[in-house]
Structure 1
């Protein structure tokens, strides 16, 4: 497997496409080629680091590498596809971190490094070789990457079994591939796009290894994929083709709450996405776009430096409940630029809501990140390109109802984030308490608030999820009115009032909760949202500085009316 090293070069067109948040098939092909080199470098580093590591009951890693090289010499394209398989990247990066002492896991190190033997065996099977080798067994599962897994019950948690290929038959622990104990992952197929539905690889979950979880059936996933691909193809045929060329596998996770899908990707695993069972094909399509944007940017960042490590601050990310570092925020703006572009073409109430929401939130984050001194010149160029493409979208008309729902969700998320993660300056609080009561809004003395990440008790998207119910499924929304928390985690009756325009009722409920001593961040923000809708000037102050209003109320032992506190606060954020 020796080749002459050649530098990777992106064409000017591909370079410009990626800076602008896009990337056609030729660009994705270039990224795949560069990721192949990145993968081989990581595997080589792993082998070097493992040279003196214990191998336990397995053969030396050099034997696994020889078998892998033998398979590559016979069936190069097949083995290349295997080496580029996303879970292989996660394995190599995770195991290298363990060998270097920067990561830990309860798996024996010999089993993690020895996964190379499983990779070599899978390559040899693909190449049609005759061979014999041992591979690790994890809690009763022996896995051949991208091929399948054999159930091997009855043994210890960590052991080895033999893989044997001779006379055209392949057995694992003496059982033939394809028998009742063998599970092969299904494939999702739709008009030229194929994704392996990986429910077995121990490194499929991107962060920490997990055991195989074979699906009973892939029928639901296939139906959803058919719908998602039809939507993607109709929205932008060229970008759909690029996505089909770039994504290799999908890691299925259980269904989550409606309108709260979970998904993930990793820079170690170009070509995959983890996703919960989507609500429908449209949500699935949006998720694939989202995660493929992460895939592209991660590959681009393996070639170019977009930010330096000197910026250690944490930032507000409009799609997360937790503060994020600069790199995480950069990944987010790139992904949600793609999500915004997707929803721009979905012409129905929920689609208009998603478009209005994400164009505003992405623009907000781009403005924030553009002020960071941690960006390189190229990073600033990328941010400027995205902002320039997004700017005209902000002026496009959106139905009033969807726009109002989006505005509520935006204000809610930003203010709730502040209420949980910012702590007002103590000098400011003491000065305002000493001046209470007063008539004119003061100029707050002291320093600005400090970022102290809090522990949210519910998702900051709770009211946005209720708005989605109302826009997409009015009948379903009516059914959840009486007990919203049973369907939408964390939802309260006053949240129903807020999203349905019963703002006077919501204001009374939030006010009463605070007076009773139950004024959590969601309630203070809810009071601000309701007051603003009712035309009370308290609303803007409460939404601008909910953390300061709550701190003042506590310091004054509840003597100050919550709305009066809001009216005294300036409506602009420090």
Structure 2
């Protein structure tokens, strides 16, 4: 196969669509074209790097390339080379060949996956051939087609693949019967996704063993529901998504309201997702991951950031600090998620909309002036901000708005409590001022970022709120032992989300006084105090890392609420001074 040398560029309409977070079908087609060239460049670099590498028990890589070329006339090679997992394989194996990645897989099995790719293309083209492919932990995989169970004592071995008038065989067995596990195509009117549960590179971050899902009826039903929701909310965006995503990688069911999903810039067209709670959750997940797909492809064409520092940032949808590139990906994905939930009128939909519009706007406001953004990166942030701005003023149910505000304050404060550390010398000075009875003065500089290890998910209280809004009866059943249903949840969390803030405040206060004040407890204290109208709430929620450090410096003897009020007073004084200086 020979790739014509040419530059890829988007037409002005597609360029503007993507900068604004959207896309039409023509734009997605243009991204596919550019990703095809990107994929071929990576594969070519892999083959060049592997020229002198051992192929172990497999044929030379040139044999695989020749077989792949034979399938070109029927365009089967195009279909397989564009399959998302091929991109992960090529990039991962190239990193191994260049010494920048490690894996327990023998290198010959990694490079030799080319033979499996070529065999898949030849099968789809209806060619007669004979080749040998790697066997990983007793699985021989034909990408985009399926996998054969090949029992044997070796972890890494090989199997012969033959195709003749009598059919296709792997290790002498036809592609039928209990050994063979074909991929399932999830179908709905106007959309189809391959449910890939066998490809070794489907996990998007290196190789994994096949995990066949033989009963796919549930996935088919959920996908049908999701597609109807997507098509009903925005038909054009749904068509674009249908043209962009080709593979869905299933993962085990996660805790309710805590789905797991992922995508990769090396796997355009793929989304990984845990078994969803319902079709609506799957629809939101597909929107989320498709946004990542689009931005990754866009960034293969244009530079949005040149961040050479190790600076990390607050990402309102993550528990860990994120680099600039990760934050860009997040705001782009959650802009799409916000737009999806904006069209869902029920209480949970309103909550998700209210939560993510606020958090996405917060992230956009912080990233717009970040060092490392290019002019085009700043333009993208400005475009998203302009589109999101009017949504911030749209009405939602009062109770939903209050729930979203609680979730926002909870996440931001808990993140600060775990990941920020005030200067030790300034904390000592504040402790001395407290002991003298003097007013506190906030540290002049920003606290240092020192990523901590969270004791539970920062979304724990938000998950309880989702239960309360979407399933009140289920919420009532979990009240007595919330941690059994929502990992990490405590009784005081239930009190906070159900309007019993005074009870939560007392519980958190007692725990801190007896020396058990973890960050979640301090933030719970702040939320409870804020609901009670106590100024301590503002101090704790705005500067939890400082209040905690000051409490520890004082040996735990100071009342946590008094410290919160003192920090709140210092914060107010600082703001007044800053405002006065700003007017001079």
Equivalent residue for 1:495?
493
Question: What does residue 191 of structure 2 align with?
Answer: 193
Residue 32 (structure 2) aligns with = 32
Q: Does 1:554 align with 2:552?
A: yes
Contact 1:538 1:566 in 2 (8 A): yes
Q: Could you tell me which residue of structure 2 aligns to residue 463 of structure 1?
A: 461
Structure 1 unmatched runs, 5+? none
Q: After the TM superposition, which of the residue ranges 303-312 and 437-446 deviates more from structure 2? A: 437-446
Is the partner of 1:132 in helix, strand or coil? strand
Shift of 1:373: 2.0
3-state secondary structure, aligned to 2:249: strand
CA distance in 1, matches of 2:539, 2:426: 15
Report the CA distance shift for 1:481/1:244 in structure 2 as closer, same or farther (over 3 A).
same
**Hey, what's the Cα distance between the residues in 2 that align with 1:437 and 1:389?**
50
Which string of whole-angstrom CA distances, capped at 9 and with x for unpartnered residues, describes residues 148-195 of structure 1?
101001230001110011224111000001222100011110102000
Instruction: Please tell me whether residue 405 in structure 1 is matched to residue 400 in structure 2.
Output: no
Secondary structure at the aligned position of 1:98 is classed as helix
Segment drifting more, 1-10 vs 265-274: 1-10
**Match for 1:179 among 162, 177, 180?**
177
Q: Distance in 2 between matches of 1:484 and 1:25?
A: 45
By how many angstroms is 1:439 displaced?
A: 5.8
Check whether the contact 1:431–1:445 (CA below 8 A) recurs between aligned residues: no
**Superposition deviation, residue 246 in structure 1:** 0.4
Q: Is the 8 A contact 1:441 1:567 kept in 2?
A: no
* C-alpha distance after superposition, 1:10-62 (max 9, x if no partner): 11110000000000000000000000000000000000000011100001101
Cα separation, partners in 2 of 1:4 and 1:199, compared to 1, 3 Å: same
Deviations 1:464-499 (A, max 9, x none): 000000000000000000000000000000000000
The C-alpha deviation readout for 1:380-412, integer Å capped at 9, x for no partner, is 000000000000110111110000000000000
Q: Quote the offset at 1:311 in angstroms.
A: 3.9
Structure 2 counterpart of 1:204:
202
Aligned partner of 1:327 in structure 2 is 325
Alpha-carbon distance, 1:235 to partner = 0.4
1:5 corresponds to: 5
Structure 2 residue aligned with 1:361? 359
Cα deviations by residue, 1:296-323 (Å, 9 ceiling, x for unpaired): 0000000000000334310000000000
1:257 aligned residue: 255
Out of 558-567 and 152-161, give the one that drifted further.
152-161
| Cα contact 2:181–2:214 (8 A) shared by 1 | no
- Equivalent of 1:442 in 440, 443, 450: 440
Shift of 1:446: 5.1
Normalised by the size of structure 2, how large is the TM-score?
0.97
Secondary structure of residue in 2 paired with 1:569: helix
SS in 2 for 1:150: strand
Cα offsets for 1:168-224 (capped at 9, x unmatched)? 411100000122210001111010200000000000000021100001311111111
Secondary structure (helix, strand or coil) at the match of 1:465 reads helix
Contact 1:421 1:451 in 2 (8 A): yes
**Aligned pairs (5 A) from 1:503-542:** 503-542=501-540
Kindly tell me: are residues 546 and 94 of structure 1, through their superposed partners in 2, closer, same or farther at Cα, counting changes over 3 Å?
same
| Structure 2 counterparts to residues 473-492 of structure 1, below 5 A | 473-492=471-490
1:17 and 2:20 matched = no
Match of 1:127 in 2: 125
Hey, what does 2:148 align to over in structure 1? Answer: 150
Alignment of 1:390-401 (within 5 A): 390-401=388-399
1:348 alignment partner in structure 2? 346
Contact 2:249 2:273 in 1 (8 A): yes
Given the superposition, is the C-alpha separation of residues 411 and 438 from structure 1 closer, same or farther in structure 2, using an over 3 Å criterion? farther
1:7 is displaced (CA, Å) by 1.6
Change (3 A) 1:216 1:315: same
Q: Which moved more, 1:85-94 or 1:550-559?
A: 550-559
Give, in whole Å, the separation in 1 of the partners of 2:301 and 2:4.
19
Would the aligned equivalents of 1:306 and 1:378 in 2 still touch at CA under 8 Å?
Answer: yes
* Alignment check: 8 A CA contact 1:427 1:446 kept: no
Pairing partner for 2:271 from 270, 273, 277:
273
Alpha-carbon distance in structure 2 between the residues aligned to 1:232 and 1:441: 56
Residue 239 of structure 1: how far off its partner (Å): 0.4
Offset from partner CA, 1:307-345 (integer Å, 9 cap, x none): 003343100000000000000000000000000000001
Work out whether residues 418 and 546 of structure 1, in 8 Å CA contact, stay in contact via their aligned partners in 2: yes
List aligned pairs for 1:107-126, cutoff 5 A: 107-126=105-124
Aligned partner of residue 136 in structure 1, secondary structure:
strand
Tell me, in whole angstroms, the C-alpha distance in 1 between the residues paired with 2:367 and 2:265. Answer: 20
CA 1:153–1:522 in structure 2 vs 1: closer, same or farther (change >3 Å)? same
* Deviation string, structure 1 residues 271-320 (Cα, Å, up to 9, x no partner): 00000000011111000000000000000000000000334310000000
CA distance in 1, matches of 2:300, 2:529: 48
Contact kept, 8 Å, 2:526 with 2:540, in 1: the verdict is yes
Query: What is the CA distance between 1:553 and its match in structure 2?
Result: 1.1
Aligned to 1:377: 375
CA drift of 1:552 comes to: 1.1
Task: Name the CA distance, whole Å, in 1 between partners of 2:20 and 2:71.
Answer: 40
Q: What is the CA deviation profile of residues 133-157 of structure 1, one whole-angstrom value per residue up to 9, with x for unaligned ones?
A: 1100001000010111010012300
CA distance in 1, matches of 2:57, 2:307: 41
SS at match of 2:71: helix
| Aligned equivalent of 1:63 | 63
1:491-528 per-position Cα deviation (integer Å, ceiling 9, x unaligned): 00000000001000000000001011100000000000
Gap regions ≥5 residues in structure 2: 576-584
Match of 1:97 in 2: 95
Q: Number of residue pairs matched?
A: 572
Which of 224, 227, 232 is equivalent to 2:225? 227
> Alpha carbon RMSD of aligned pairs, Å?
1.2
